[in-house]
Structure 1
Amino acid sequence: MLTSFFSLLFFGCLTGVTTVLFGFGGGFITVPVIYGVLTATARPGADAMHVAVATSAAVMVVNAVVATSAQWRQGRLRSAYLWPLAGFIAIGACAGSFAATLVGGTALRLLFTAYLLVTITDSLLRKGFLSVAHQIPAKSLDRGTTTLGGMGIGLVAAALGVGGSVMTVPLLRRRGLLMAEATAMANPLSVPVAVAGTLVYALAPTAASGAGQFGYVHVPAGAALLVGSLPTIAAMRRVTGRVPDRVHSAAYVVLLLVVLIVMVTMGI
């Protein structure tokens, strides 16, 4: 158990780094990590994948709120891109979280992996992510993107426990925003996903619930991750904006590739 705690603590620190630099509230790091730890330590019959997704959502609530507060004080958030997109993301997130409780763990793992693969391919092959011709001012979001796009982001993100940053960052990037701006706004846009997901998963009836769990949310694992992530977010907040834009966008894709390789290697 002590080894598991220190593993979660270490990856919590890594989650703090990715929250600040890439707008990941934790999902792409915490889902594979929690799944691996629970698979190794949980009792037979425990639904490790659903618990991993649910716990990831709970961790994201805290990480995203803390990062959003810091970025707001630093003037990196642009309200025109946050509302009403956040409201439609919340609507989709409620539906996505509920749908995920009805899907088997194997199907959820395959969907998570497929989501990663599609995102990486899109970022590499379609123009506008690795480098952009910045608009002055940047292009605004149209009504269809805000409504249907927002609900789609919430639906997929909440179902997979990933916060939506891997859809909102490319979306804002292709509107001409700098990488530092796009990743900063991914955090407040992840809050409605994380809140909706946490509530649905925590209240969902499950036979897999054990000691230290609220529904699917594994409180000890989430707490260990937060012990590592929160101090790291505080330490890293001054780094955002200093990384060259092209390096920042390339590092974003590299991180997704690493997570995909880890997931395939672990068979999750």
Structure 2
Amino acid sequence: MTELSLISFVGLGFGLLAAGAITGLLAGLFGVGGGAVAVPILYELFSLLNVPEEVRMPMAVGTSLAIIIPTSVLSFIAHRAKGAVDISILKLWAGPVVIGVVMGSIAARFAPGDLFKIVYVAVAAVSAVRLLFGRDSWRLGLDMPGRGVMLSYGWLIGVLSALMGVGGGQLSNLFMTFYNRPIHQAIATSSGLGVLISVPGAIGYIYAGWPRMADYPELAVLQPPLALGYVSLLGLALFIPTSTWMAPRGARLAHTLSKRRLEVTFGLFLLIVCGRFIASLLA
């Protein structure tokens, strides 16, 4: 290993430890799975390491999906044990969600890096508006829609989650609460989507990134055995311990703040990230 690659390796290691801690704190504070927070943090970290722009965003997305796997599995088991998961919705969504994830992963192999930013900005902006200005009275219906709408939305959740690097919680929570489902049931059911999205999504990003990352042999820290395609294995090893360590601390901090203050804070965070990505798109 050359002196330059050794410095990059050490820098990436410390950066991932710090990024995992920040992600865990914010994920616990805002009550999200971490993907919406991890992607922009990983993007900035890869920027500092001079990862080329065309692969920087898909690398952040792929690594985020892999990081979500253990947390989504544990979360789903816990929520199901409490009987809070609506299994009927998960069964209906399972097929179209996985198909959407596969299609999104295939698109990742050929899509320009800007597409990932555009998807993130679009979804995050809608979520931010809902958090900042939404009312409990905002409803699309008093019960879940018909099978056709549900299947279509499941597919859309899969595609957007795969391109955004999230477990689908933001999208499914938004949908279910608009159809009068309690927020706790929406969160619990969304935990099952995290498993359906993160596992095939991570595998898909390994496939999508393998031939493209080979075009950058100078990035030794992002090549096998430290990375597989668009998934940083070093990121998994260093990101997860610090994020899981800090998440409970973020959750405890959340209990000191009002629900409205949390909504406003997270909404503003999403708008800041949107602004950062929009600026990079216009640069």
TM-score (norm 2): 0.76
- 1:63-84 deviation line (CA, Å, top 9, x unaligned): 2112222222333322233221
Work out the CA distance in 2 between the residues paired with 1:163 and 1:141. 22
- 1:9-60 deviation line (CA, Å, top 9, x unaligned): 3442444456567664322111111121122125668821111111111111
User: 2:225 aligned with 1:221, yes or no?
Assistant: no
Cα 1:251–1:77 change in 2 (3 A) is farther
Cα 1:140–1:117 change in 2 (3 A) is closer
Work out the CA distance in 1 between the residues paired with 2:175 and 2:227. 35
For 2:195, the equivalent position in structure 1 comes to 191
Aligned partner of residue 118 in structure 2, secondary structure: helix
Work out the CA distance in 2 between the residues paired with 1:51 and 1:231. 24
User: 2:71 aligned with 1:63, yes or no?
Assistant: yes
The 8 Å contact of residues 97 and 197 in structure 2, kept in 1 or not, is answered as yes
Work out the CA distance in 1 between the residues paired with 2:89 and 2:30. 17
Q: 2:153 aligns with which of 139, 149, 152?
A: 149
For 1:115, the equivalent position in structure 2 comes to 123
Aligned partner of residue 47 in structure 1, secondary structure: helix
For 2:136, the equivalent position in structure 1 comes to 131
Cα 1:248–1:89 change in 2 (3 A) is farther
Q: 1:96 aligns with which of 85, 97, 104?
A: 104
The structure with the largest alpha-carbon Rg is 2
| Residue-pair matches, total | 262
Structure 2 residues without counterparts, runs of 5 or longer = 1-8, 215-222
For 2:174, the equivalent position in structure 1 comes to 170
The 8 Å contact of residues 54 and 113 in structure 2, kept in 1 or not, is answered as no
User: 2:94 aligned with 1:80, yes or no?
Assistant: no
TM-score (norm 1): 0.80
Aligned partner of residue 220 in structure 1, secondary structure: helix
Work out the CA distance in 1 between the residues paired with 2:56 and 2:155. 27
For 2:218, the equivalent position in structure 1 comes to none
What percent identity do the matched residue pairs reach?
Answer: 25
Deviation at 1:185, TM superposition (A): 2.3
Work out the CA distance in 2 between the residues paired with 1:256 and 1:175. 24
Identify the structure with the greater helix proportion. Answer: 2
Work out the CA distance in 1 between the residues paired with 2:114 and 2:64. 17
Deviation at 1:102, TM superposition (A): 0.9
Instruction: Please identify, of 258-267 and 212-221, the stretch whose mean Cα deviation from structure 2 is larger.
Output: 258-267
Structure 1 residues without counterparts, runs of 5 or longer = none
Output the amino acid matched with 2:89.
Answer: Y
User: 2:270 aligned with 1:256, yes or no?
Assistant: yes
Aligned partner of residue 176 in structure 1, secondary structure: coil
The 8 Å contact of residues 65 and 198 in structure 2, kept in 1 or not, is answered as yes
Aligned partner of residue 163 in structure 1, secondary structure: coil
